[in-house]
Structure 1
Amino acid sequence: MYKEKKSKNIICPVTFGPPSNCVSPYIFAPSGGCVNVLLDVNNRGTIDHNCTALNYSSCSVGICSNAPGNQLANNNYVWTASINGQVDGAFYGVTLPFNITIYDITTNFVYVLCFGTCATTYTETALPTTAFSGVTVLAYWDDLYFYSSISQGIYYGTEGNAPNHTLIFEFYMSHFSQPSQYYHFQVVFFEGVPGVVQFKYYDASDGGVTCTIGVQASTSGSFVQYLFDLANSVQSRTMLTFDTNLRTYTNSTF
């Protein structure tokens, strides 16, 4: 979950699915399908312009870079700052290709990532919080921001086949007023395992000292909290798995 500093309440419904006819910034690859040439490390700006061959680790805004790169190879975007612009204070609706379940809510539509009423509150508190009234997944509740100078945004995709799809949201942001502080993580839902959600962290510059991580069912109901403003608690490749059926979490690496 992300939130920002100003309460603009921009809601942008998105239909889940591959880009139709390779609409820009996607172009058709000879191997089949569409690739995002603003993000694809193997197709920087156009097909077969490979950044790794030039000793760069990622592609950002169509330019080879050593900033953190997007992990989803075939992604769709909910919001990408290089196209949609920088944003502060927004949440977005996404229609999903299959149902996912957290606590007692099963749905194919979410506000990323609230399963009910969402909000743009940016000051984190311990859980349960009154800032979000419904089922809410808080992968990194902090004062975060999308910068357009690099390909920051929210992306999503699926892996696997029915009835065991995984749905992956990828968040790539920086701290408000601190563009070189990177926060890059994935939130993974499992079609075949209702009630379970997984957080995978690639970058978290402040290590968790100014954030809340967890899940909650309501303002006063069940919740599972991993941390609230706890230094050195989120390292690169930390993986947290929350089971809302058992009200537990496990901490591991990937």
Structure 2
Amino acid sequence: MILATVSCPSGYSATQTAKCVDILSSLYNCGSVGFICSSKYRICSAGVCKTAPTTQLSGATFIPAWVGTSTDDDIQQVSLPVNVTLYNYSTSLVTVSSNGLLCLGSCTIAYANENLPTALVGGPTAFVFWYDLAINDGTGQMVSYSTSGTAPNRITGFEYYLSSTANPSSYYHFLILFYENLPNIVEYVYLEISDGESSAGPSMTYSVDQAFAVAYNTTLQFDTNAGTYIRLG
């Protein structure tokens, strides 16, 4: 029998039926095709069975209202010790959405993403991963934030570890980074993103209708003043 072949992107491996499967975050193909994590583990992170992914931000603060509870379609304001800047607008008061948005003006609890610009938000907004996401209590899922370093070189980060409302066993782990000495610059770091199908493309608005649009450890850096972006990884 001649098996079909397929070329898979980084983080995926081909099965005998020529299908690319996620071997970095799939509980059923963790590290290699067909390896299933036992029931004591909640996720597969970087190809290793774990109870939660490794936290990236040091000394981070959890969004208080989302601690110890399941959360879906909610927004919370966060007061920062330093201004963040997008499109030449600076503020230290931002609004975090559980659906993968960070707003410098008015925000939305809408879970269904749409074409940009949208009237659902008012003011500069980081659409890092606008999708129907949720926090499930007892899983370690959370959104946290921190500011590190000393002026004028402080870095403010927001770390999201969430799951899909439709599929609680999936998970999405990504960061938003702002640099005090680089106003108008914002970085999106996609550490591990479940879903490799084409539906993942429209959900982040970056690469519409393309399968595997969000590869592991992809970093996108946007210059909101110049209206440009580069892919760093």
**TM-score when scaled to structure 2?**
0.71
Count of aligned residue pairs for this structure pair? 180
1:79–1:155 contact (8 Å) kept in structure 2: no
Match of residue 9 from structure 1: none
2:80 maps to 1:96? yes
SS in 2 for 1:95: strand
- Report the AA paired with residue 250 of structure 1: I
2:216 corresponds to which of 206, 224, 236: 236
2:52 and 2:89 map into 1 onto residues whose CA distance is 37
Higher relative contact order (CA 8 A, sep 6+): 1
Q: Among the aligned pairs, what percent are the same residue?
A: 37
Identify the residue that residue 227 of structure 1 maps to in structure 2. 207
Answer yes or no: is the 8 Å Cα contact 2:157–2:177 preserved in 1. Answer: yes
- Aligned twin of 2:230: 250
For 1:72, the equivalent position in structure 2 comes to 57
**5+ residue gaps in structure 2?**
1-40, 44-48, 97-101
Q: Which residue of 2 aligns with 1:87?
A: 71
Q: Deviations over 1:93-143 (max 9, x none)?
A: 011101111002111101121111111111111222222222111100000
* Deviation of 1:68 (Å): 1.9
Find the partner of 2:105 among 109, 113, 116. Answer: 116
Residues in 1 aligned to 2:232 and 2:176: alpha-carbon distance in whole angstroms: 15
Kindly tell me: are residues 154 and 70 of structure 1, through their superposed partners in 2, closer, same or farther at Cα, counting changes over 3 Å?
same
Q: Is the 8 A contact 2:177 2:188 kept in 1?
A: yes
Aligned residue for 1:211, secondary structure, equals helix
1:196–1:243 CA contact under 8 A, matched in 2: yes
* Residue 170 (structure 1) aligned with residue 159 (structure 2): yes
- The one-letter code of the counterpart of 2:228 is T
Q: Which runs of 5+ in 1 are unaligned?
A: 1-55, 59-63, 214-225
SS of equivalent residue, structure 1 residue 209: helix
What is the TM-score when the length of structure 1 is the normalising length? 0.66
Partner-residue secondary structure (3-state), 2:170 = strand
